[in-house]
Amino acid sequence: MATPMRIIKEVKRLGVDPVPGISAKPTENNIRYFDVLMDGPSQSPYEGGRFKLELFLPEEYPMSPPKVRFLTKMYHPNIDKLGRICLDILKDKWSPALQVRTVLLSIQALLSAPNPDDPLANDVAEQWKTDEKLAIQTAKQWTEMYACLSSKVK
């Protein structure tokens, strides 16, 4: 099956006009499967970290949302142990008007503003609610331990 023009245009735009702090490139043999590197947002517990994600555009895209998950271990109330992400635009708030870049920016924003009231990792959310300072400290420690801290995304 031919690759839809929409995907080709989005890939081209990501190459020409990349999202600041995010690198998203399709793999050599599958234009629907992206390797993503995301810098942790400044002034967040994830600052200084570099996180690996995978993003897949299903056959139904753009009528259905991309499948995205973190490959880097995260301490975040909206990201579970398998890297799955609780984000409304990846579920019931998806719109075909959204693009890969919008999704990536939304995920980066979620790192800046965790939502423990809509958790995917209940234990982390509970910690965030009962002792936010300790939760943030733990998130920073995990970032130091698991995120690729070498070079930033250009």
Q: H helices within 26-121, ranges in order?
A: 100-112
Number of CB atoms found within 10 A of residue 43's CB: 8
Determine contact, residues 101/14, Cβ cutoff 8 Å.
yes
- Write out the catalytic residue numbers: 86
What does the alpha-carbon distance between residue 72 and residue 87 come to, in Å, rounded to a whole number? Answer: 17
What phi and psi values does residue 147 have, to the nearest 5 degrees? -85, 145
Kindly give the pairing relationship between strand 50-56 and strand 30-39: antiparallel
Which helix (H) or strand (E) covers residue 124, if one does? helix 122-130
Q: Which residue has the tokens 């080709």?
A: 8
Mapped onto helix, strand or coil, the DSSP state of residue 3 is: coil
